[in-house]
Amino acid sequence: MIYRKQNFGIAALIIFVMFAIQMSCKTKTASDLSKESIIPKPLSIEATGGFFVLNAGTGIYIQGESAELKQIGQYLADRLKISTGYEMDVKSTTKDPGTGNIYLTLSGTDVIPEDEGYKLTITKKNVKLEAKSPAGLFRGIQTIRQLLPAKVEMSTLQEGPWEIATGTITDHPDYSYRGAMLDVARHFFSSDDVKRFIDFLAYYKMNVLHLHLSDDQGWRIEIKSWPNLTTYGGSTQVGGGTGGYYTQEQYSEIVKYAGERYITIVPEIDMPGHINAALASYAELNCDGKATKLYTGTEVGFSTLCTNKEITYKFVDDVVRELAALTPGPYIHIGGDESHVTKKEDYIPFVNKVQDIVLAHGKLVMGWDEISLSSLKSSSVAQYWANAENANNTVKQGAKILMSPAAKTYIDMKYDSTTTLGLHWAGYIEVDSSYIWDPATLVPGIGKDKILGVEAPLWTETITKMDELEYMVFPRLPGIAEIGWTPASLRNWNEYKVRLGLHGERFKAMNIDFYPSGLVPWDDVNP
């Protein structure tokens, strides 16, 4: 018996030693900057072979007294404090603070000429982040986060060491618009959920969140001059559950939260179709003067505003006016998709009029690709999702395209036939398929100069809560972010999938419920 116990003890010791060796092999030593898995992939990385160690004495310095830079420094300090436990004061300085510190500085345009670009120089002694604009510093901070061990993203105190490989990264985005869309109309998502989603975008250097705020199933933004839109029209959602809406204060808080992360909100009010929630809330918006019933199904294309009633334009003007006043970003998205029950001869003048209303309120127009049937201003943007002819029609009119091809960027599509969530009308979209494409060659005749950027829409007919959202978003979103940021010449699926695999640890640290695609080498992550 004693003999067997001893045997067991030795076996346990051997297993422990083997496990320890295996763990130490898996713990990366942060000494080769060029081998770090940064997403989106930076433009240039020069490694110098050593590492900087973040410790309790590390300070975060900002150049000058700017409140904006202070806020960016504080964002980094707050994030690092949670997992490292270090209380990093953010201090102002007029000169390079020297050894042991992180220094955030706005350089002249000669160092980094591009908006959102940054240069990150890491030596054994300190970390220097330079950018032309505060947005560039914010993007560079995401690179610093990704260079630290994955556990830096955890929400509990972790053991160091907190090493960052040394070298220089120079980086800037390929497209100026890199976004995602969240449909909060089919299923409502709380402000806190939206903020978490914004944090995902920020981590991958995206800069736009398009909120699909109204549809047949629900109206989600308070409009003070038309209160029933939310109190009645926002009361339900797909499947018949309780819906919800953002008060104007809550919406402004979301806008502010996004703004602090250099993310612009593009609000969408879908019209003249996808409008049943409004038609149910106000009888006078219907041609026959009778309110429709609230709708909780998932059919599309059955509702329309009454395009030849004067009150319709008063309604649109009020909604756009209130929304424009709450929205600092340049665009109001007017939808315009799938207006199957609006006659073409009514649709065209409607979109033209709405375009004028948006411009009169000081905003630019964005809409789904169908709006190209109307006369687009060159400042308007059509979001290509399905129809190449509409895309061509857009550029012929001198307007720009936002690329959201359904077969590539619709992250509400199932990964494969076994995915229980999602739709599949545009096909199954595995992680490789959503990564392997180039916005500038997708539609013949529409080159890079005609394209504003890329956006990944998440429609929520089948997505009811945050863990479901995360499962559809991850791991496809980082790939779309990379398509928007990194030039096509530097993108390669076989290389990318390894970097993505290493982000599995980060998803886990952030408590993200992701889809563990069999196409990605997930290292030692067990989701």
Residue whose CB is less far from ligand NGO, 126 or 462: 462
Structure tokens at 393: 């029609």
Residue whose CB is less far from ligand NGO, 246 or 385: 385
Residue whose CB is less far from ligand NGO, 338 or 432: 338
Kindly state the smallest distance separating residue 166's Cβ from ligand NGO, in Å.
45
Beta bridge partners of 60: 90, 102
Burial of 254-289, coded b for 16+ CB within 10 Å and e otherwise, reads: bbebbebbbbbbbbbbbbbbbbbbbbbbbeebbeee
DSSP 101: E
Kindly state the smallest distance separating residue 468's Cβ from ligand NGO, in Å.
15
Cα–Cα distance, 128 to 132 (Å, whole number): 14
Listed residue (71, 78, 85, 70) closest to 162, CA to CA: 85
Kindly state the smallest distance separating residue 276's Cβ from ligand NGO, in Å.
12
Q: Is 468 in the site for ligand NGO (CB under 6 A)?
A: no
Kindly state the smallest distance separating residue 338's Cβ from ligand NGO, in Å.
5
Q: Is 337 in the site for ligand NGO (CB under 6 A)?
A: yes
Pick the binder of ligand NGO from 130, 268, 322, 412 (CB under 6 A): 412
Pick the binder of ligand NGO from 52, 75, 368, 384 (CB under 6 A): 368
Cα–Cα distance, 395 to 378 (Å, whole number): 9
- Tell me if 269 sits within 8 A of 305, measured CB to CB: no
Q: Is 410 in the site for ligand NGO (CB under 6 A)?
A: yes
Pick the binder of ligand NGO from 53, 111, 154, 300 (CB under 6 A): 300
CA 86 to chain CA mean position, Å: 29
3 state DSSP class of 490: helix
Q: Is 466 in the site for ligand NGO (CB under 6 A)?
A: no
Kindly state the smallest distance separating residue 462's Cβ from ligand NGO, in Å.
9
Kindly state the smallest distance separating residue 386's Cβ from ligand NGO, in Å.
7
Residue whose CB is less far from ligand NGO, 338 or 523: 338
- The CA distances from residue 440 to 209, 448, 476, in Å, are 22, 5, 19
Interface size with ligand NGO, residues (CB under 6 A): 10
Binding mask 434-463 for ligand NGO (x = CB under 6 A): -------------------------x-x--
Q: What share of the chain is helix, strand, coil (3-state, %, to 5)?
A: 40, 20, 40
- Tell me if 112 sits within 8 A of 137, measured CB to CB: no
Q: Name which of residues 137 to 156 contact ligand NGO (CB under 6 A).
A: none
- The residue with its CB nearest to ligand NGO is 459
Kindly state the smallest distance separating residue 141's Cβ from ligand NGO, in Å.
33
Catalytic residue check, 338: yes
Contacts of 501 (CB under 8 A, 6+ apart): 37, 520, 521, 522, 523, 525
Strands 162-171 and 118-122: antiparallel
Binding mask 370-409 for ligand NGO (x = CB under 6 A): ---------------x------------------------
Q: Is 189 in the site for ligand NGO (CB under 6 A)?
A: no
Tell me the CB-side half-sphere exposure of residue 301, using CA atoms within 13 A. 5
Q: What are phi and psi of 49, to 5 degrees?
A: 90, -5
Residue whose CB is less far from ligand NGO, 423 or 436: 423
Listed residue (311, 319, 399) closest to 357, CA to CA: 319
Marked catalytic residue, from 338, 345, 430, 470: 338
> Interface residues with ligand NGO (CB under 6 A)?
300, 337-338, 368, 385, 410, 412, 423, 459, 461
Catalytic residues: 338
